[in-house]
Amino acid sequence: MSARLLRTALGVAAFVAATPSAAQAQIYYWQDASGQIVLSDKQKDPSAKTYAVSRSQSIRTTRPTTGRAAAFADLIDEHASAQDVDANLVHAVIQAESAFNPRAVSVKGAMGLMQLMPATARSYNVLNAFDPAENIRAGVAYLKSLLVKYRDNLELALAAYNAGPGAVAKYGGAVPPYRETRNYVKKIRGAVEAAPPKKVRIYRTIEIVDGREVPRFSTTPTPGAELVTPGRR
């Protein structure tokens, strides 16, 4: 935990410790996978600590900004489509891994949006793990490889992404009994299930066949492809 987060945590603890014992409400406090401190009136994480809060006190919270996520939406769609991976899943993984911070670095050395370990980055020919395009390309490809390895078992793929395939193998091909990993799998699976279905994007290209223009349509964006708008033929 950084010094700033530690000071925040201590401040929260000091606040709730000073709260009268005859409390009428509760708040929950935990750290998410990216190390961010979360306060909520609902227990959304099994590891959350519970604090009593007097009705006379007020707590103001804000939702995390969606600006960062929107900035990378096109890159996520492009690489998710290329790898045939659910874009909602990629969004959820990035949120859990780095909260859409392209400069994030974990204590174990994982880097960038999808928190690539150095060995993984090398395996996917990543020259700059802090470049969003390279990071997402490699991260989605690695996630796809795990989905293939575990035959589309999402829980095992996510467990391997978080703890490593070796940890999954160590526990007989099951989700390891690590609290962090189990919370990670539960959080991402819940986010994917709650996400609205992604709109299908159709791309149009023109091929010349026997001197004639022949339109081709695909859900995969390619260089020079035109995005087809609804109602257009």
Tokens for 115, please give them: 């928190």
Tokens for 119, please give them: 């060995």
Catalytic residue among 97, 155, 180, 207: 97
Q: In the beta sheet, which residues pair with residue 215?
A: 206
CB 105 within 8 A of CB 118: no
Tokens for 163, please give them: 């703890």
The two beta strands, 226-227 and 203-209, are antiparallel
Residue whose C-alpha is closest to residue 82's, from 129, 157, 138: 138
97 labelled catalytic: yes
Tokens for 173, please give them: 């091909």
- Burial zone of 103 (CB within 10 Å; 0-12 exposed, 13-18 middle, 19+ buried): exposed
Q: What stretch of H or E contains 224?
A: none
Residues with a catalytic annotation lie at: 97
